[in-house]
Structure 1
Amino acid sequence: MRIMLIGRWGKTHALAKALAASRDVELYSLMDKKNTGIASLSAHYELGNIKDLSVIQKFVEKHRIDMLFVVPEMSLARGITDYFNEKGIPAVGPSEFCTKLEGDKGFVRNLMKENHIDHYPDFHVFSDKKEAVEFIRNYSRPFAVKPSGITEGDGVKVMGIQLINKQEAMDYVEQIFDRSIGGMASVIIEEKIEGEEYTIQLFCDGKTVVPMPVVRDYKLLEEGESGLNTPGMGSVSYPNHLLPSLSKNNFDESVVIMERILDVLKEKYGEKYNGFLSGQFMLTEQGIRVVEINVRPGDSEILNIIPILQTDFMDICRAMANEKLDEIKISFAEKSTVCIYAVPEGFPTPSGKVQIHIDRKRFEKPGIHLFQSCFEAGESLYEPSPRLFAVTGTGDSLEEAREKCLEGLSGIRGKNIFYRKDIGTRDLAERYMKKYDLPGV
């Protein structure tokens, strides 16, 4: 079966590995920059505009593609899956309308409010810059500022973390409108919430959802979870597929919240949701709160999931495309995972090309997995995306998984490369539980 994979980053490389390992897949890839990890797994790849329907259509016709898997939210928002599903070529990924769950944060907040899905913080949406600035001037609670549109994981700024005072917050609002950050002339001011943050990802086919193990990601740049906000520095999961501070009831409640959102899409808007759905939550003293919803796999969270997925990934894709998830059993190994991203000096600010040498033999060892997020720029020369490579270690315990992850990272050599060494340590997990008075490990 000829599968076309659209995307270029680390999450796409992880999915390419899963597809390439399937029994009956011939992989064809379209990227706008060359990710050599994806290219090496593909029977054929091309470089082109991954948001241009005409480019994708020509690729499909030229290579007689049987099914598409569209990963980037920017491509999904162009209606790529709508077009090919209407043409009778199955395409995994949500419709253009459904991408509003990520592409318009005000839409999903209002959807939850109007349909009594009461798991959101106090929020206010503004399409007028002056009104937003004036609101901040008079708002008395700690808050977060979010561009309403897609910012690929690094647009949110929180008072006391990325924003020192109200003036910085007002300046950031000005930037959002003046620079069209997120692609929309809109901003959300939300009450700041605190607690244990976690991610639950779903496989969806329009009628059935199958949850994946819980992942805890770390977005702040510096060790101890401090510093600048980033698209992600790494993430962890546990053998029981929960977190030490997250009960099975918490997990089930979080899944129900996402199911209720999808039910509204179906019942009110006539839209069935197909593909990956990623929910970022926070367990607070007031209960579970939705931080945001994403319409694609998490990066790095999916890098924790693919190494422990025991079901043939192509079978899952086929089931998602044909509303048959209820006919297959999806299972995951009872292993811990630790994923850590190597990033260039100066990250998350874009930087120049980086010389890197990789000891590939390290990644032939069981339980050590390499995922590429950067692009070829010459021999051993890579252009960050802005991240470079991620390594996921798997093991019977978090400690074993972290050891394997660090062993892999030690095989990525180059000047001015940085990664957090505290991800996966017991100290980091306990610090969060103590800070928010959560149950112990």
Structure 2
Amino acid sequence: MNVLVVGSGGREHALVWKLAQSPLIQTLYCAPGNAGCQQLAESVAIAETDIPALCRFARERQIDLTVVGPEIPLALGITDAFAEHGLRVFGPSQAAAQLEASKAFAKTFMQNHGIPTAVAEIVDDIAAAQAYIRQYNGPLVVKADGLAAGKGVTVCQTREEALEAVRLAMVERVFGDAGDRVLLEAFLPGEEASFHVLTDGERILPLPTSQDHKRVFDQDQGPNTGGMGAYSPAPVITDALQARILADIVEPAIRGMAARGTPYRGVLYTGLMIVDGAPFVVEFNVRFGDPETQPLLVRLDEDLLPLLDRAAQGGLDDRPLMVMPDAAVCVVMASGGYPGTYRKGLPVEGLEHASTLENTWVFHAGTASQANQIMTNGGRVLGVTARGASVATAIERAYHTLSCISWPGVHYRRDIGHRAMHRMSGPDQG
């Protein structure tokens, strides 16, 4: 098969890495990719948002399956555009992608289908937002309605913080058009988790559980990012809780999308908050998480390509996925200053030695290659990923590998996996 992966982040490098192992692959392309993708796939100099150019390329190169990594091309309708030319895409239609592209759509959808989620007010006027905040008692989460690269959410403990958050979103427009409308959502105290499934619109295959670390600094301090690290499995999700998530959230979502006439095919990533043992949806994402994809794929013990192809066609097998019992951890190495301003073009040292270490993988995100030297080219630069018999072993391996890699101003969290370690430290942890 000829396969095209669309995107340029750590998630896409992990997808390329896993797909490259398939015996079904004839030629593997990545558009636009990064320095890591280029080592495994033919690089295509087309932006992920240039759908007409991607479509022409897919027709010319007789691409059998296009795997879309990021949410923006899906929201722009890449699946629909390709379908008009008989091209197969792993990823939902533009109508189904509204589950992520519009938080207001997703909130209304969940309310209509009885899917547990926080109470929220949807406002598209700054005066209405301010009035709601002034009469509300308690912490609020202010969410930009549209896509904001994982950074459009502000957790506000005070009324003043909430008022400032809506001002930044709706007046200063720090998230661009995504802040034209905002959700003012009740804060849910609990523990976050990520739950991915593959679906062909009817059948649902759960992937392993995982947990992301959104805040930029240790102990979950500082602003939200696209994700500073992740691990799998997430012990907060027990077998019984997973069954409840499927029955109360995922299955109603897939049935609800089909009932709307917008069947959902691809990967559905549910961001959860576990509150007193009960799951609530924080958000739906219509693509693999980043950095969750990295630990998920190093645990997947079967060929990824037929799974994605069958999901795109509507023919998934009704059976559990084959997953290694080992745990996996990904630690993101970021540019100093991320998620704010940061420098690019800094030389990355130590990658050659890191590549020799056992059960570890360095997935590239914001990187570029210049004269055989890997350079930083983004906020999140690398995702150092390790697998081990336990979360503790995987953490130790990831940080050991990370210690071999450097560039000026590098930043990373030193506590990735801390919740898993806390839960497993004794019988009193819940």
1:264 aligns with 2:270: no
Match of 1:375 in 2: 367
Tell me the CA shift for residue 181 of structure 1.
2.1
Cα shift readout 1:258-314 (whole Å, capped 9, x = no counterpart): 2211211101x2111111110011111372211111001001111111111111011
For residues 373 and 341 of structure 1, do their structure 2 counterparts lie closer, same or farther at Cα, with a shift above 3 Å needed?
same
Q: Is the 8 A contact 1:344 1:418 kept in 2?
A: yes
Match of 1:274 in 2: 265
Distance in 2 between the 1:19 and 1:277 partners? 19
For residues 177 and 389 of structure 1, do their structure 2 counterparts lie closer, same or farther at Cα, with a shift above 3 Å needed?
same
Query: Which structure 2 residues correspond to residues 13-52 of structure 1 after superposition, within 5 A?
Result: 13-25=13-25, 26-31=27-32, 35-42=34-41, 44-52=42-50
Q: Is the 8 A contact 2:207 2:321 kept in 1?
A: no
- Secondary structure at 2:270 match in 1: strand
Distance in 2 between the 1:87 and 1:220 partners? 42
Match of 1:406 in 2: 399
Distance in 2 between the 1:181 and 1:345 partners? 21
Distance in 2 between the 1:180 and 1:345 partners? 20
For residues 279 and 131 of structure 1, do their structure 2 counterparts lie closer, same or farther at Cα, with a shift above 3 Å needed?
same
Distance in 1 between the 2:97 and 2:17 partners? 25
Distance in 1 between the 2:389 and 2:56 partners? 46
- Secondary structure at 2:188 match in 1: coil
Match of 2:9 in 1: 9
Match of 1:122 in 2: 119
Distance in 2 between the 1:69 and 1:414 partners? 32
Tell me the CA shift for residue 216 of structure 1.
1.4
Q: Is the 8 A contact 1:311 1:329 kept in 2?
A: no
- Secondary structure at 2:73 match in 1: helix
Tell me the CA shift for residue 180 of structure 1.
6.7
Distance in 2 between the 1:17 and 1:168 partners? 42
Distance in 1 between the 2:271 and 2:197 partners? 12
Match of 1:392 in 2: 385
Match of 1:233 in 2: 228
1:187 aligns with 2:182: yes
For residues 424 and 285 of structure 1, do their structure 2 counterparts lie closer, same or farther at Cα, with a shift above 3 Å needed?
closer
Distance in 2 between the 1:274 and 1:206 partners? 5
Query: Which structure 2 residues correspond to residues 13-412 of structure 1 after superposition, within 5 A?
Result: 13-25=13-25, 26-31=27-32, 35-42=34-41, 44-117=42-115, 119-160=116-157, 165-178=158-171, 179=173, 181=175, 183-184=177-178, 185-238=180-233, 242-243=234-235, 245-256=236-247, 257-267=249-259, 269-285=260-276, 287-326=278-317, 330-353=321-344, 354-376=346-368, 378-379=370-371, 380=373, 382-412=375-405
Tell me the CA shift for residue 62 of structure 1.
2.5
Distance in 2 between the 1:286 and 1:3 partners? 41
- Secondary structure at 1:341 match in 2: strand
Distance in 2 between the 1:139 and 1:377 partners? 51
Q: Is the 8 A contact 1:35 1:372 kept in 2?
A: yes
Distance in 1 between the 2:218 and 2:51 partners? 42
- Secondary structure at 2:379 match in 1: coil
Q: Is the 8 A contact 2:146 2:177 kept in 1?
A: yes
Q: List gaps (5 residues or longer) in structure 2.
A: none
Q: Is the 8 A contact 2:119 2:186 kept in 1?
A: yes
For residues 438 and 280 of structure 1, do their structure 2 counterparts lie closer, same or farther at Cα, with a shift above 3 Å needed?
farther
Instruction: State TM-score, norm by structure 1.
Output: 0.91
Code of the residue aligned with 1:50 in structure 2: it is E
Distance in 2 between the 1:209 and 1:323 partners? 11
- Secondary structure at 1:307 match in 2: helix
Distance in 2 between the 1:365 and 1:431 partners? 27
Q: Is the 8 A contact 2:74 2:94 kept in 1?
A: yes
Instruction: State TM-score, norm by structure 2.
Output: 0.93
Q: Is the 8 A contact 2:354 2:401 kept in 1?
A: yes
- Secondary structure at 1:279 match in 2: strand
For residues 56 and 430 of structure 1, do their structure 2 counterparts lie closer, same or farther at Cα, with a shift above 3 Å needed?
closer
Cα shift readout 1:73-112 (whole Å, capped 9, x = no counterpart): 1101111111222432211100000111001111111111
- Secondary structure at 1:423 match in 2: coil
Q: Is the 8 A contact 1:319 1:325 kept in 2?
A: yes
Code of the residue aligned with 1:266 in structure 2: it is A
Distance in 1 between the 2:427 and 2:227 partners? 23
Q: Is the 8 A contact 2:98 2:105 kept in 1?
A: yes
Distance in 1 between the 2:266 and 2:212 partners? 21
RMSD: 2.1
Tell me the CA shift for residue 337 of structure 1.
1.0
Distance in 2 between the 1:362 and 1:381 partners? 13
Distance in 2 between the 1:439 and 1:215 partners? 22
Identity of aligned residues (%): 28
Code of the residue aligned with 2:294 in structure 1: it is L
Q: Is the 8 A contact 1:430 1:440 kept in 2?
A: no
Code of the residue aligned with 2:243 in structure 1: it is D
Cα shift readout 1:382-433 (whole Å, capped 9, x = no counterpart): 34431110111111011211111112212212221121222234xx446579
Tell me the CA shift for residue 69 of structure 1.
1.1
Q: Is the 8 A contact 2:55 2:81 kept in 1?
A: no
- Secondary structure at 2:138 match in 1: coil
For residues 81 and 187 of structure 1, do their structure 2 counterparts lie closer, same or farther at Cα, with a shift above 3 Å needed?
same
Distance in 2 between the 1:82 and 1:39 partners? 28
Distance in 2 between the 1:50 and 1:335 partners? 33
Q: Is the 8 A contact 1:149 1:182 kept in 2?
A: no
